[in-house]
Amino acid sequence: MLNLHTIAHFFRQKTGFVVLILAVLATAFSYYVYTEKQLDVVSESRYVSHQLASQLRQTSDGLTLSVNVSAKQFRQTDFVEQVSNAVARHAVNPTLLKLELTESALLDHIEDAIQVMNALKDIGVRFSLDDFGTGYSSLQYLRLLPLYQLKIDRSFVQDIASKGSDRAIVRTIIAMAHTLNLNVIAEGVETQVQQGILLDSGCMYYQGYLFSKPVPIDAFEGLL
C-alpha cells in the first residue's frame, strides 16, 4: 500500500500570510508541513496552528499531520496552549499530530523542552527528531526526551547505495532507534535501490520523490 506524505507551504506577503500550496511528497500516510519562511510572530504562529488543525480535520481518517516547528516557535511561553487550543477547537485526534523538532530547538534548554514535550505528549501529540545525525546528537538526551521517531537526514540517504560509510551510519541509526523503541523514517528517498537498502536495514518508513513529487492538495486527495 502506498504511503503518502505531504507538505504545506506558507508564504508571507505584504498583505499578510496565506496557505499557498498543499502538496504530496511521500510516505507513512502522513501530512508533512513546514513554513517556507519560519513564522516568528506569535499571532502568525497561532494562525498556522489553527490552519493545520483545520486541515487535519478535513483529511481522510488515519492520516497523520507532521509539522516542522522552529526553535523560536517551540520556545514561545504559550506554545503548549497554542497547540492544545488548536486541537480542541477543531476537534481533531491529537494522536494524528506529529511535531518535528531539530536538535537546535532542544539542546539549549533541554529541561524546558522536556517539560513542553511531556505536556503535549499527555494529550496524545507525538514528536519526531528531524535531521538526526547532522548535529550534536547525544544518547543522553535521546534517553530523556519523550520522542516517538527519529528522522534520518537525506545527506546520509543520497549516497547510501555507493558509500559504505553512509550505509553503516544509517544502519547504526536504525538499530539505535529500535533499541530505544523509537520509530524511524528516512528522508530524501529517490530510488528503489535506496529504499531496498533502508528496508533491509530495518527502516519501514520513507519520504522522497520515489513515491511522489509535490502535487496540489486536490491531486493528493485523488491518490488516497
The H-assigned helical ranges of 75-127 are: 79-89, 103-106, 110-121
Instruction: Report pLDDT for 40.
Output: 40
Residues 90-124: pLDDT tens digits?
Answer: 787 888 888 888 887 887 788 899 999 999 999 99
- Name residue 103's amino acid: E
**What are the extents of the domains in the chain?**
5-151+212-223
Cα of 222 vs its chain's centroid, Å = 23
pLDDT for the residue 107: 78
User: What φ, ψ does residue 128 adopt, rounded to 5°?
Assistant: -120, 140
State which fold the 5-151+212-223 domain adopts: TIM Barrel (3.20.20)
* Contacts for 58 with CB less than 8 Å, ≥ 6 apart: none
pLDDT band at residue 131 under the 50/70/90 scheme: confident
Q: How confident is the model over 35-53, as a mean pLDDT?
A: 47
Nearest to 103, CA basis, from 156, 151, 167, 39: 151
Is 0.85 topped by the overall pTM? no
Quote the mean pLDDT of the chain: 75
Per-residue b or e along 45-58, where b marks 16 or more CB atoms closer than 10 Å to that residue's CB: bbbbbebbbebbee
Confidence of residue 69 (pLDDT cuts 50, 70, 90): confident
| pLDDT attached to residue 218 | 65
132-161 per-position pLDDT tens digit? 877 666 677 788 899 999 999 999 999 999
Q: How far apart are CA 195 and CA 199, in angstroms?
A: 6
